[in-house]
Structure 1
Amino acid sequence: MAEDFNSRVIREFRENDGRVGEPFTGLPMALVHHVGARSGTERITPLRWFADGGSYVIVASNAGAPDHPAWYHNLKANPDTVVEVSDGAGRVDTVTVRTSELTGEHRDRIWTRITDDNEAFAEYERRTDRTIPLLALTPR
């Protein structure tokens, strides 16, 4: 059976000190651990992160789909978690974090910074009618 995309990224991350290949080559990545809001199943999702002070911001874009990704709901239901964080250049830390959703002017400021530098996220925004959530993972 072929390895799925997320499994491949997780394997590459762990085998290469947090460095992964396309489409994330050289980018800061996180393996976000989360527990299913309904199932209680532990899961890991690889995501790109953006710095905001001492927090790691992740984007619930779901590639512009009309619904939020499942991991968004899981983190909202279970906001205390662990992330394996890479700077994209070979440094990995495992950090206990609390998840919170960015809102208002703070969310808009970070979103503008993300979309100004990342056309893919701007395209995801154009594909959907929903406001794409930004979640801050703040070390505890």
Structure 2
Amino acid sequence: MHRRLLDITAGRLGTRFKNMPTLTLTTTGRRTGRQHTVVLTVPVVDGPRYLIVASRAGDTISPAWYHNLSADPSVEVSFQHGPSQPMTARVLPATEREARWPQVVQAYPGYADYQKRTARVIPLVELAPRTDY
């Protein structure tokens, strides 16, 4: 529904959610090879890099997009309904994730609640322009 709102309004509505900017992430299906696009919030913007959270609202399993980019880190990203750009996804290792988690929770305290709901450690993923890797 969020993606439809972005498309219908040409990005005039839906570029922010819960006080965070949004992006569209296109991954390649790990089993099907098909393109899949989702709209996600971005709790941390660090220049041309974006930090996203594979929370699935604290579910016991990670979202499908996370499994897809884990299998193929080459993704397409459109930040706040801007032009699409090729990026590389990198799942943060444990120590880096722990260091960055407070930034995520500061941007949206609900992420702390999501972490409390699940036994899994919610992954953080950095998206960076492909030329950076």
TM over 0.5: yes
Cross-structure match for 2:108:
118
For residues 80 and 107 of structure 1, do their structure 2 counterparts lie closer, same or farther at Cα, with a shift above 3 Å needed? same
CA contact (8 A) 1:18 1:29 kept: no
Indicate yes or no: 2:125 matched with 1:135. yes
CA contact (8 A) 2:23 2:41 kept: yes
Indicate yes or no: 2:13 matched with 1:19. yes
Tell me the TM-score normalized by structure 2. 0.85
For residues 96 and 63 of structure 1, do their structure 2 counterparts lie closer, same or farther at Cα, with a shift above 3 Å needed? same
Tell me, in whole angstroms, the C-alpha distance in 1 between the residues paired with 2:51 and 2:107: 15
> What SS is found at the alignment partner of 1:92?
coil
Tell me the CA shift for residue 132 of structure 1.
0.5
Tell me, in whole angstroms, the C-alpha distance in 1 between the residues paired with 2:30 and 2:47: 28
Q: Render the CA deviation track for 1:10-68: whole Å, top value 9, x for unaligned.
A: 122232426318x8165310110011111222111110112135311110001101111
What amino acid does structure 2 have at the position aligned with 1:57? L
Alignment of 1:77-116 (within 5 A): 77-86=71-80, 92-116=82-106
Tell me, in whole angstroms, the C-alpha distance in 1 between the residues paired with 2:107 and 2:56: 18
Q: Spell out structure 1 runs of 4+ moving beyond 3 A.
A: none
Tell me the TM-score normalized by structure 1. 0.81
Indicate yes or no: 2:67 matched with 1:67. no
Count, aligned residues: 128
Choose which of 20, 29, 32 in structure 1 pairs with 2:25: 32
Q: Give the unaligned 5+ runs of structure 1.
A: 1-7
Cross-structure match for 1:56:
50
Indicate yes or no: 2:67 matched with 1:47. no
Aligned residues: percent identity? Answer: 31
Q: Give the unaligned 5+ runs of structure 2.
A: none
